[in-house]
Amino acid sequence: MDVRTRRDRIEHRARAAREINYAQLAAEFDVSEMTIRRDVEALEALGVVRRVVGGAIAVQGKDTEPAFATRMADAAQEKIHIAEVVADLIGVNETLILDSGSTALAVANSLKGRGLGLTVVTPSVLAALALVDEPDTTVVLTGGQLRSGELSLIGPGAEDTLANYNCDTYVMGVAGIDGDRGISDYHQAESRVKRAASRRADRVIVAADKSKLGRVTFVSIAALAEVQVIVSDGAPDHPTLAAARNAGVEVICVAAQSDAPATVAGTR
């Protein structure tokens, strides 16, 4: 089989299955994983797929949300570094709204063991479970409808719960940040919960890995000027981060390193 035919078949598989695995493709086409990686890199350059740990996912439309497990694996190490920096921004005895999603879950795990004595309000069952046994931490789950796969709470019940609280900080996870279109996400009900949370916090921290920068997804949440801090592993001169600074947002760029703690450069 020639290279073009193999890549055409890999592209077809990615579009049909949404996710592809290097090892499985190597076995199927009887080539090395390195060959498959080169094929996937070529498809990524064409905008067909985006590489993740162990494989790739098809590039989605603005209204198509990747599976939670896929997002957990995607940029996993980067999210850990971002989460550590976000956790460093949370003060003792704060009342914190913690979003649902893979990055927010990483933040929940990073808050463990810090002895901050937080009150955490969250629509995420997974984040609540991560913090429920943390000493001196009060965890409040919003009401609402439990969303399959995400294990997040959505709908009027979640929004009404948030409306009852006045909080110090909201840590928001997002699908896209764009210089012109602002903050966006895939899911309409999730986005309404995010807007409700934003209204009840004095400070909004957006935590987003660099794949979210310059991306516009289906539902608009907020303009850049409506958030106070963005923490990302994107390059400091990325156009989206430059636009955020121009809008008065504090931008914290995390230089993730595999063997050492994250280093942080804060810019405004």
List, for residues 22-77, the tens digit of each pLDDT value: 999 999 999 999 999 999 998 887 667 888 888 888 765 555 555 656 655 565 78
Q: Do residues 157 and 223 share a domain?
A: yes
Rounded percentage of the chain residues whose pLDDT exceeds 90 = 65
Tell me the whole-structure pTM to 2 decimals: 0.73
Q: Do residues 15 and 77 share a domain?
A: no
The answer to the question of residue 65 being in a domain is: no
State residue 35 phi and psi, 5-degree precision: -65, -45
User: Across residues 110-114, what is the average pLDDT?
Assistant: 97
Q: Do residues 28 and 153 share a domain?
A: no
Nearest Cα to 204, choosing from 195, 192, 212? 195
pLDDT, residue 90, reads: 98
The alpha carbon of residue 92 and the mean position of all alpha carbons in its chain are separated, in whole angstroms, by 25
Tokens of 31: 């080539």
Q: Exposed, middle or buried by CB within 10 Å (0-12, 13-18, 19+), for 21?
A: middle
Give residue 265's pLDDT band: very low, low, confident or very high (50, 70, 90): very low
Containing structural domain, residue 26: 3-59
User: Do the bridges between strand 250-255 and strand 229-232 make them parallel or antiparallel, or are there none, so unpaired?
Assistant: parallel
pLDDT, residue 54, reads: 87
Domain tally for the chain? 2
List, for residues 195-223, the tens digit of each pLDDT value: 999 999 999 999 999 888 988 888 899 99
Rounded percentage of the chain residues whose pLDDT exceeds 70 = 87
Q: What 3-state DSSP class applies to 11?
A: helix
Within 10 A of 37 (CB to CB), how many other CB atoms are there? Answer: 16
User: Across residues 241-267, what is the average pLDDT?
Assistant: 72
The answer to the question of residue 122 being in a domain is: yes
CB of 103 closer than 8 Å to CB of 185: no
The answer to the question of residue 68 being in a domain is: no
Q: Do residues 8 and 113 share a domain?
A: no
Q: Exposed, middle or buried by CB within 10 Å (0-12, 13-18, 19+), for 265?
A: exposed
Nearest Cα to 249, choosing from 231, 266, 224? 224
The answer to the question of residue 16 being in a domain is: yes
